[in-house]
Amino acid sequence: MNNTVKYGTTEIDFSVIKTDRKTLSIEVYPDLSVQVVAPIKASVKDIKAKVLKRASWIVKQKQYFEQFLPKIPERQYVSGETHYYLGRRYVLKIKVSDENTVKLKAGNIIVSCKKNTPDKVKHLLTQWYYSHAEKRFNESFKKVFNTFSKHNLNYPQLEFKRMKIRWGSCTTSGKIILNTEIIKTSVKCIEYVITHEICHLVHHNHSKAFYRLLNEKMPDWEKWKTKLENY
């Protein structure tokens, strides 16, 4: 299962694995993920309280590891810049126009607007990505969810938003959150993230049973996970 606690203005996402142990431990990994290993009988309330108690340490650990992550060049939102959509590379072209539009054409992503400042271009492009992510994610989710029919799952609430370090998450209430950034990757990468999170509706951890189900639903998932991580 996945959870979030708020520490000041910072949100701390963490996953939970329950085992036959007496104490609770918290680990922060180099990819900035946070994992809690808790006793089987530990309540969500107690786990969150422990995470909040260690929040200062968690934030410091994440800041330490963050310095070793590869730096992604800041987008300038100017003509000639490279952007991606569904795994394909597009060249950004900006045009002056009375209408605000974003279109794909012949290997280009064309942003037309009257006030063609980088902030305006970024705003239009972000809106365009979100609207396309919403449509594509809903389509892919229905397709993947149908393959889980034997598990008699309730169709979950979906939320799409940009996240810094997660491609997706599944909350304890069964809501699945997908990172809108994955619209820039391939359809198979999107399906991998969705399959991974739906598997969490059956197994709320990364147990052997979870990976057996993931292998059953998507035998080549590791290939798409690697592509996603290299994106």
The CA distance from 159 to 180, in Å, is: 10
pTM score, whole prediction: 0.72
Q: What is the pLDDT of residue 209?
A: 93
3-state secondary structure (DSSP) of residue 228: helix
Output the DSSP codes for 54-89. THHHHHHHHHHHHTTSPPPPPP---TT-EEEETTEE
Residue ranges of domains in the chain, CATH in brackets:
2-66 (no CATH), 82-127 (no CATH), 136-230 (3.30.2010.10)
Q: Residue for token digits 């180099």?
A: 30
3-state secondary structure (DSSP) of residue 172: coil
pLDDT tens, per residue, the chain with 231 residues: 557 888 988 889 888 888 888 899 999 887 788 889 899 999 989 999 999 999 999 999 988 887 766 555 678 899 999 999 999 999 999 999 999 999 999 999 999 998 889 999 999 999 999 999 999 999 999 999 999 999 999 999 999 998 877 899 888 788 999 999 999 999 999 999 999 999 999 998 888 999 999 999 999 999 998 888 877
Q: Long-range pairs for 118-127 at CB < 8 Å and ≥24 separation? A: 118/76, 118/77, 118/78, 119/77, 121/77, 121/78, 121/92, 121/94, 122/75, 122/77, 124/100, 125/77, 125/83, 125/92, 127/102
Q: What is the pLDDT of residue 71?
A: 59
φ/ψ of residue 103, rounded to 5: -140, 150
